[in-house]
A and B are shown apart, each in its own frame.
Chain A
Amino acid sequence: MKAKKFLAIFTSTALCAAMLAACGSSDSSSKAADSTAENVSTAEGGAGGSGELIKVGIINNDPNESGYRTANDKDLKAAFSKENGFDAQFSYSLKNDEQIAAAQKYIQDEVDYLLLSAADTAGWDGVLKEAQTAGVKVILFDRTIDADESLYEASIVSDMAKEGQTAVDWLKGQGLDSYKVIHIQGVMGSAAQKGRSGALTDAAAADSSKWEIVAEQTAEWNAEKAQQIVQSVIDQGKDFNVIYAENDDMAKGAVAALDKANIEHGVGKKVIVMGFDCNKWALEELLNKNWNYDGQCNPFQSQYIKEVIDKLQKGEKLEKKTIIMDEKGFDASTITQEDVDKYGI
């Protein structure tokens, strides 16, 4: 028995050690952050010069959630560094209660600014009132919350509906005789899904003589599920000429199914492939003319946040509370290597 217990303890410690080793090695990944750091330094304002560090508490979602979030976290980390005049603390959680606890801790620490990307829209009134009485200024980024506007200074968000509209407008501009679309949706009910689905659904409903949704199904942001969905449409012998996938992964899965069935896709080919999020590899697919369109979901919010902080530091008033970020849509026929390097995440 003893020997076995020893074995058990040994294997568990060995695994713990393996996990720790894995953590340690992640520090070396500063290479990819460089490009975003450059981005930020151009937007740097007067905040750095004042000599005293501005204390910020940043509450974000788990950076491992997606490539978008990883890029977002790297951008913030690079922007709110000591060199730029900030004393930043970070905490991550996908759960609202943990985020609220972190917010309370930051308020106790007397930070100047609280930057928040809320996991959930509800439940923030109490803690934001605490922040207000303590004189902590709250800036929301990436996600809005259901709370009174007076409780925060600014909210910097992506307009998902606009992203969808930009994409659909681009598609309309292609001048096809008929649009037979396979619509692959994200997790149902998520902001990105609702926004990106909305525009397409409206377009199809508005001109039903030209537009037909051949299949509409959720792949839950998952490449393999998207592959299965497209495969199923092909197996049923249905005709289609557009794949509208609500993120890059799903577009990739869909393309894998097309390749299996020997259906040509890309610029000047039978099927138009559309994705979202502007992953670097996806933009490379555009560059190689295998896909046609990729819509951006801008993760580089730090420069917008810094502008807001600069204004507030100088005592200026903001023109409006909700700031919608510029977001691009890339066309495979016009994209350049420069775009890939600059906007790829």
Chain B
Amino acid sequence: MPNKKVLPPNASALARITRHQIIIPLAALLLLAVFNLINDPSFFSISLKPNSNGDQILSGNIISIIDNGSELAILALGMTLVTAASGGQDISVGAAIAISGSVMLRVLCGADARAETLQAPIIVAFLVACLVSMAFGAFNGALVAFFKIQPMVATLILFTAGRNIASWINNSQLPIVKEESFSYFGNYIPGIPIPTPFIIAIVCFIIMFLVLKFTNLGLYVQSVGINEKTSRLNGLNPELIKLMTYVILGLCVAVAALIKVSRISTINYSVVAKDIEMDAILAVALGGNALSGGKFSMAASVIGAYVIQFLTTTLYALEVNAAALPAYKAVVVILLVVMSSPAVKEKLAVVGKKFRKNGAAAEKA
């Protein structure tokens, strides 16, 4: 990832890792894993069993985590870019998923919500949803980039209106897709024991990795996020880059919507992907990325997303009382966020330095 370059080349491998921001979500992941290992080692057991279609599939808590956390991880990709470039977050992604999913079902089912056969190929529905989703992304991006509206305020528009728009698209009906192959995206492809959402997520990670590696997108986004004026003086176009990050997030939204809608082959406008925007922002924050923009680590955000899902699954496994669930989640989140705050990090760095000095002194003596 791009900010590796900031480290001095002669730093030891351990120092490089501990100083990299990825250490925060990794530590959280490790913490949760150790906790579960002590609490109940069978948490990690994975087995190969047939599902009701007779296909062999993997199942177990870990599979549930990588399965259910995938939408969030995909969203975290786009959210990281948006955060880095515009120094703000898009709070409309949940509503945008509702719109995108609604468009997909509208194209698939046509005017009849109970169509027995697909009215259009799935790929066409997905591409249309991508376009719509990117257009809404561009709408958000334009408000932020050209009209200089605070991202949270700009995206508040879609956050409030989005689910109603989604409902209008289908005349307030709830279409149900009867076609078997549509459910593959949110479940399993026959013959492949790994959950499809995870496969889709991996493909997205690889594409994002390649884009960041072989284009200057990452560098440009960071420089716009750090200092807009300077990057303009250096020949970059900050508006265009901000707009682009929102469009990319729009694309991520469409992919996440495909998975969400496919999971149950229908949609409920008011609850689909509810509160996912907050989880996506949390994933970015857990990844140690500054929410005020600038440098970012994509891998850290992705791990952050899976940490959130890990936490949810752990709490389910612990059978925490339903009413108390948000409180438990809040406590863990506070701990993680405080751990990754700059103030604590500085303190830790000072302690670490002292420790190392003492160690060196002891070696000399």
Contact = CB atoms under 8 A, between A and B. Distances in A.
A185 B322 contact: yes
A221 B274 CA distance: 10
Contacts of A221: 268, 271
A223 B268 contact: yes
Interface string B141-175: 01101110000000000000101110111011110
A238 B271 CA distance: 28
Given A11-B135, A228-B312, A232-B316, A67 B263 contact: no
A235 B167 contact: no
A66 B323 contact: no
Interface stretch (A156-164, A253-261, A311-319): A253-261
Contacts of A279: 174
B136 interface: yes
A5 B171 contact: no
A12 interface: yes
A188 interface: yes
Given A28-B171, A261-B49, A217 B146 contact: no
A22 interface: yes
A224 interface: yes
Contact of B325 (A8, A217, A232, A262): A217
Given A12-B142, A218-B322, A232-B64, A26 B264 contact: no
Contact of B263 (A217, A220, A224, A235): A224
A253 B263 CA distance: 9
B317 interface: yes
A50 interface: no
B59 interface: yes
B57 A260 contact: yes
B56 to A, nearest CB: 10
Nearest to A62: B164
A236 B317 contact: yes
Contacts of B363: none
A324 interface: no
A237 B260 CA distance: 26
Contacts of A228: 64, 68, 312-313, 316
Contacts of A205: none
B341 interface: no
Interface string A159-196: 00000000000000000000000000100100000000
Contacts of A249: 268, 271
Given A235-B60, A259-B51, A32 B173 contact: yes
Interface stretch (A13-21, A110-118, A126-134): A13-21
Contacts of B146: 4-5, 7-8
Interface string B262-285: 011010111110100000000000
A50 B173 CA distance: 36
Contact of B271 (A29, A218, A220): A220
B51 A262 contact: yes
A111 to B, nearest CB: 26
Contacts of B173: 29, 32
B319 interface: yes
How many residues of A sit at the interface, in one of the four size bands?
35 or more
A22 B142 contact: no
A256 B59 contact: no
B316 A25 contact: no
Given A11-B142, A64-B172, A223-B264, A260 B270 contact: no
Contact of B138 (A11, A220, A234): A11
B322 A188 contact: yes
A235 B176 contact: no
B52 A259 contact: yes
Contacts of A253: 264
A67 B142 CA distance: 34
A88 B64 CA distance: 51
Contacts of A220: 271, 274
Nearest to B316: A232
A260 to B, nearest CB: 5
B195 to A, nearest CB: 9
B250 to A, nearest CB: 12
Contacts of A218: 322-323, 325
B2 interface: no
B240 interface: yes
B329 to A, nearest CB: 12
5 contacts: A66-B270, A222-B271, A228-B312, A235-B64, A256-B263
Given A22-B165, A281-B266, 14 more contacts: A4-B146, A14-B135, A15-B136, A19-B168, A66-B270, A217-B322, A221-B268, A223-B268, A227-B264, A232-B313, A259-B51, A260-B52, A260-B59, A260-B188
Interface of B: 42, 49-53, 57, 59-61, 64, 68, 132, 135-136, 138-139, 142-143, 145-147, 161, 163-165, 167-169, 171-174, 176, 187-188, 239-240, 260, 263-264, 266, 268-272, 274, 312-313, 316-317, 319, 321-323, 325
